[in-house]
Amino acid sequence: MSAVPTTAIVTRDLVKTFGDNRAVDGVTLDVPTGMVYGVLGPNGAGKSTTIKMLATLLRPDGGSARVLGHDVVTEADAVRDRISLTGQLASVDEELTGRENIVLLARLLGYSRRQSADRAEQLLAAFGLEDAAGKLTKNYSGGMRRRLDIAASLVITPDLLFLDEPTTGLDPRSRNEVWEIVRALVGIGTTVLLCTQYLDEADQLAGRIAVIDHGRVIAEGTPAELKRSVGQNTLHVQVADAADRGAAEQALSRGLEITVAGSGDPTELAVPVPDADAAAAAVRALADAQIPLAGFTLGQPTLDEVFLALTGEVPTEEEVAA
């Protein structure tokens, strides 16, 4: 079998139960090669459990999964040959130095002593860790630890990399560095399965996204498709004086027969519109009613709005941070 499969991951009705809890409840995915595929969902949605089954760490209780053409249960070794996992916990050995962490993995992958040392220097330099190479990793910052963790997954460049919440708990700068690494990986042809609970992260990196909730895929598509599926475009109108908001709402519902939603901002209105013409009509209606505006923008709904529409709940900041 020399043909390169164009689908990196194929799962059909994948199930994993822990006691009464169906953590993964019939997940069907088709992940194309050569892109970042986002798996988006709140805590406890079944993302990590899915990744663990795909990375041969957990045995599925039902359904099937093939990774790079190989069955994850019957051909686990062939799968392990071509994947790498960066788990949710930064799985570096705290009692070893950064260099020793990489050398150990290189040795375990079959490199000679000399080659392992070279590979470690090369990776540590590329990930901006050469100055800390000789320090024990328990003294590393969160960002350094995560970079080392990812570097350790790339001793042999895998065809498929699993990244389980790689930026949870990182500061914005470290998060951007991880994003850079992910983009570079896709640039050289590695497929990345990215689990995240950050809508922003999926939007930034992923070519396609599966939204998972309660162990099931509830939506799938490109970020743009997902946003479109929620509805049309959204016109955000900001009135100059909060007292005018009621009048603006009336003018819009009268003239255009649309339901207008308020937002947390007392001067703002969100107006779902089918197209740009409708948006222009809405602005004209406000002008006719002589309501002074501070501004307006026409845009696609955010992934937050997508999530709200799909699950009926917006992940709160605390949930995201937890």
Partner 1 sequence: MSTVTPSQAEAAAPVIDEARLHAALAAGERPPRPSAFAACRAFGWRCMLKIKHVPEQLLDVTITPVMFLLMFVYLFGGAVSGSTDAYLQFVLPGVLAQAVLFTTVYSGVTINTDMTKGVVDRFRTLPIWPAAPLVGATIGDMARYVIASTVVLALGFVLGFEADGGVLGVLGGVLLLVIFSSGLAWVFTTLGLVMRSQSATMNAGFMALFPLVFLSNIFVDPSTLPAVLEWFVGVNPVSHVVTAVRGLLGGEADGGDIALVLGEAAVLTAIFVPLTNRLYRGRG
Q: Out of 66, 119, 175, 208, point to the residue binding partner 1 (CB under 8 A).
A: 119
Rule CB under 8 A: is residue 20 a binding residue for partner 1?
A: no
SS3 160: strand
Q: Out of 21, 74, 141, 222, point to the residue binding partner 1 (CB under 8 A).
A: 141
Distance CA 273, CA 123 (A): 50
Q: Considering the complex, what minimum distance in angstroms separates the CB of residue 90 from partner 1?
A: 8
Burial of 206 by CB count in 10 Å (0-12 exposed, 13-18 middle, 19+ buried)?
buried
Instruction: Considering the complex, state which of residue 144 and residue 252 has its C-beta at the smaller distance from partner 1.
Output: 144
For residues 40, 45, 47, 48, the Cα torsion angle rounded to the nearest 10 degrees is: 140
Q: Out of 10, 15, 117, 136, point to the residue binding partner 1 (CB under 8 A).
A: 136
Sequence-ordered strand ranges (E) for 2-128 = 7-18, 21-32, 36-40, 62-67, 70-71, 83-86
DSSP strand pairing (160-164 vs 83-86):
parallel
Contact 135, 97 (CB under 8 A): yes
Instruction: Considering the complex, state which of residue 132 and residue 195 has its C-beta at the smaller distance from partner 1.
Output: 132
Angle at 305 between CA 180 and CA 186, to 5 degrees: 20
How many Cβ atoms from other residues are within 10 Å of residue 201's Cβ?
Answer: 24
Instruction: Considering the complex, state which of residue 15 and residue 258 has its C-beta at the smaller distance from partner 1.
Output: 15
Q: Out of 11, 50, 84, 233, point to the residue binding partner 1 (CB under 8 A).
A: 84
**With contacts defined by CB under 8 A, how many residues of the chain interact with partner 1?**
65
Site for partner 1 in 48-67 (CB under 8 A): 52, 55-59
Instruction: Considering the complex, state which of residue 132 and residue 217 has its C-beta at the smaller distance from partner 1.
Output: 132
Site for partner 1 in 183-222 (CB under 8 A): 184-185, 187-188, 190
In this structure, what are the phi and psi dihedrals at residue 87, rounded to the nearest 5 degrees?
A: -75, 180
Site for partner 1 in 151-170 (CB under 8 A): 152-154, 156-157
Q: By CB under 8 A, name the binding residues for partner 1.
A: 52, 55-59, 77, 80-81, 83-85, 87-97, 100, 104-105, 107-112, 115, 119, 122-123, 125-129, 131-132, 135-136, 139-144, 147, 152-154, 156-157, 177, 180-181, 184-185, 187-188, 190
